[in-house]
């Protein structure tokens, strides 16, 4: 019979800096062998910085989202780092907890191990987080499922893993988010960045689940997984505005899949065929971009494709201003999603230094000869 994977509780990174700063280490509820593979990542753990003094505050969230929430304490621009932190706990998404009385014993054991290894401050921070499952599941598990954010696959385990944070886990959900969370493996941190300009005093929202879905699907999923009825701006629309929003989101999702299969070949086909209208590609790409911005549904698959098309097509049309504008916008959003501009600042700095530059004119010259 196959051996069941063994779960252990362990500190990551190693305990050395713990005495100086409790916030530097994470408790891993991991399968045996994972910790060694994580520690073997080249450069692990890399250092990280977070804004000091902080640019956010945790306070009562108000009517639209229950309990506490995170608020900006300064004006923030697209791509600005709001907070970077090591999680309190990481764990595989699917924990092989046994059912029945054995399951209760296993939870009690993990709870004890967590409290023992986390120390009082981090334990208090963990158990102060919200638990939307009440007493229907053991508390450690309820808090984990209410607050965990994705960290993808960690070395040594094929399935998805999750992380619970002291600060980032306080961010409420909106189907029109103004911030985005991302995970950085080498520094073992979660990062929160602005997805649009956020004014001082405004609440910061991320999205918990895919939001390129009609409202009914989003609300069902939110109720199922997080036990609340979303009352965000998009969910509060009525009549034709609600139908329009549903339609736009459905089309954005469909387009994201369609654009995945496209390559530069169709940009080249347009650029080198002067009989096709000049604005054929840019009109379509600007429509998708405006819809995404209108819904604040920045599909991270579609967005790079759209910006890449816009910059190539406007370079082919020799519109320096437009290339610069879209490359700057792409740099800010790419930074928001990944922490890195993805090379877009270089495109913005030299719009003519681009193999697509002037392709339409050259194609016309060839036809005219
Ligand atoms: C990760 S916690 C967010 C922080 C939480 N509000 C707190 O007080 O710690 C997730 C829980 O917050 C609440 N929540 C988050 N977004 C919400 C929203 N848009 N509307 C209502 N409740 C929301 C729900 O109870 C949900 O289960």
Predicted local confidence at residue 92, as pLDDT: 86
Predicted local confidence at residue 18, as pLDDT: 45
- Ligand 1 centroid from CA 146, angstroms: 8
For residue 86, what are the CA distances in angstroms to 11, 13, 23, 24, 228? 12, 10, 7, 6, 27
**What pLDDT, in 10s, does the model give residues 231-277?**
899 999 999 999 999 999 998 888 877 766 677 888 999 999 999 99
C-alpha 360/C-alpha 172 separation (Å) is 47
Asked whether residue 1 carries a pLDDT value surpassing 60, the answer given is: no
Burial annotation 78-117 (CB, 10 A radius, 16+ → b, else e):
bbbbbbbbbbbbbbbeeeebeeeeeeeebbeebbebbbeb
Asked whether residue 3 carries a pLDDT value surpassing 60, the answer given is: no
Q: Which two tokens stand for residue 193?
A: 């960045």
Phi, psi (deg, nearest 5) at residue 206: -120, 180
Mean pLDDT of the chain: 89
Tell me which of 132, 221, 228 to substitute to probe ligand 1's pocket, judged by most ligand atoms within 8 Å of the beta carbon. Answer: 228
For residue 209, what are the CA distances in angstroms to 13, 90, 222, 279? 29, 19, 8, 35
Lowest mean pLDDT among 71-75, 135-139, 156-160: 135-139
Asked whether residue 163 carries a pLDDT value surpassing 80, the answer given is: yes
Supply the ipTM of this predicted assembly. 0.99
- Ligand 1 centroid from CA 173, angstroms: 7
**What pLDDT, in 10s, does the model give residues 286-331?**
999 999 999 998 888 888 889 999 999 999 999 999 999 999 999 9
What is the pLDDT confidence band of residue 22, given thresholds at 50, 70 and 90?
low
- Ligand 1 centroid from CA 67, angstroms: 7
C-alpha 314/C-alpha 212 separation (Å) is 28
Predicted local confidence at residue 23, as pLDDT: 66
Cβ–Cβ under 8 Å, residues 185 and 163 = no
pLDDT cut 70: percent of the chain above it = 92
Select the highest-mean-pLDDT range: 24-38, 67-81, 136-150.
67-81
Antiparallel, parallel or unpaired: β 81-85 and 189-194: antiparallel
- Residue 356 sits at the vertex; the CA angle it makes with 352 and 361, to the nearest 5 degrees, is 90
* Closest atom, ligand 1, to C-alpha of 68: 8
Q: Which two tokens stand for residue 8?
A: 């252990």
- Residue 260 sits at the vertex; the CA angle it makes with 259 and 264, to the nearest 5 degrees, is 70
Ligand 1 pocket, CB under 6 A: 61, 65-69, 129-130, 132, 146-147, 169-170, 172-174, 226-228, 230-232
- Report the 10 Å Cβ neighbour count for 225: 13
Q: Which two tokens stand for residue 12?
A: 């990551």
Predicted local confidence at residue 263, as pLDDT: 75
* Closest atom, ligand 1, to C-alpha of 170: 4
Asked whether residue 360 carries a pLDDT value surpassing 90, the answer given is: yes
Q: Which two tokens stand for residue 241?
A: 């505005």
Predicted local confidence at residue 307, as pLDDT: 95
Predicted structure pTM score: 0.92
For residue 307, what are the CA distances in angstroms to 322, 326, 363? 11, 6, 23
C-alpha 310/C-alpha 259 separation (Å) is 14
Asked whether residue 200 carries a pLDDT value surpassing 70, the answer given is: yes
305: nearest Cα among 321, 320, 322, 284? 284
- Ligand 1 centroid from CA 350, angstroms: 44
**What pLDDT, in 10s, does the model give residues 111-124?**
777 777 888 888 89
User: Roughly how many angstroms between the first and final C-alpha of the chain, as a whole number?
Assistant: 76
Contact partners, residue 304, CB within 8 Å, separation at least 6 = 330, 334, 342
- Ligand 1 centroid from CA 127, angstroms: 15
Predicted local confidence at residue 17, as pLDDT: 47
What is the pLDDT confidence band of residue 4, given thresholds at 50, 70 and 90?
low
Question: Which CATH entry fits the domain spanning 7-226: 3.40.190.290, 3.20.20.20, 2.20.25.90, 2.170.270.10?
Answer: 2.170.270.10
- Ligand 1 centroid from CA 133, angstroms: 12
C-alpha 285/C-alpha 51 separation (Å) is 35
Phi, psi (deg, nearest 5) at residue 245: -65, -45
């Amino acid at each position: 019979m196959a051996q069941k994977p063994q779960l252990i509780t362990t500190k990551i990174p190693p305990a050395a800096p713990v005495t100086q700063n409790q916030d530097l280490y994470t408790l891993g509820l991991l399968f045996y062998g994972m910790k060694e593979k994580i520690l073997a990542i080249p450069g692990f753990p890399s250092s990280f910085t977070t804004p000091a003094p902080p640019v956010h505050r945790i306070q009562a969230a108000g009517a639209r989202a229950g309990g506490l929430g995170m608020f900006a304490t300064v004006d923030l621009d697209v791509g600005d780092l709001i907070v970077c932190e090591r999680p309190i706990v990481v764990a595989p998404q699917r924990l092989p907890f046994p059912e029945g009385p054995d399951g209760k014993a296993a939870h009690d054991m993990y709870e004890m191990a967590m409290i023992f290894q986390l120390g009082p401050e981090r334990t208090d921070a963990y158990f102060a987080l919200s638990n939307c499952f009440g007493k229907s599941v053991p508390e450690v598990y309820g808090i984990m499922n209410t607050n965990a954010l994705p960290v993808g696959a960690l070395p040594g385990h094929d399935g998805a893993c999750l992380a619970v944070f002291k600060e980032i886990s306080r961010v409420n959900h909106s189907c029109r988010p103004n911030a985005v969370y991302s995970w950085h493996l080498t520094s073992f941190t979660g990062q929160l960045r602005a997805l649009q300009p956020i004014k001082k005093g405004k609440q910061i929202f991320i999205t918990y689940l895919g939001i390129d879905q009609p409202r009914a699907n989003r609300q069902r999923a939110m109720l199922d997984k997080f036990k609340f009825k979303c009352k965000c701006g998009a969910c509060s629309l009525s009549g034709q505005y609600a139908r329009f929003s549903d339609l736009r989101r459905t089309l954005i999702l469909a387009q994201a899949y369609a654009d995945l299969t496209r390559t530069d070949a169709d940009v080249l086909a347009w650029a080198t065929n002067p009989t096709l209208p000049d604005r054929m590609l840019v009109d379509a790409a600007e429509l998708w971009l405006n819809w995404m911005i209108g819904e604040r549904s920045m599909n991270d698959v579609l967005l790079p494709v759209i910006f890449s098309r816009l910059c190539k097509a406007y370079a082919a049309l020799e519109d320096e201003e437009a290339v610069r504008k879209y490359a700057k916008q792409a740099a800010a959003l790419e930074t928001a999603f990944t922490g890195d501009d993805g090379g877009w600042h270089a495109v913005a700095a030299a719009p003519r230094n681009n193999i697509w530059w002037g392709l339409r004119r050259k194609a016309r010259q060839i036809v005219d000869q």
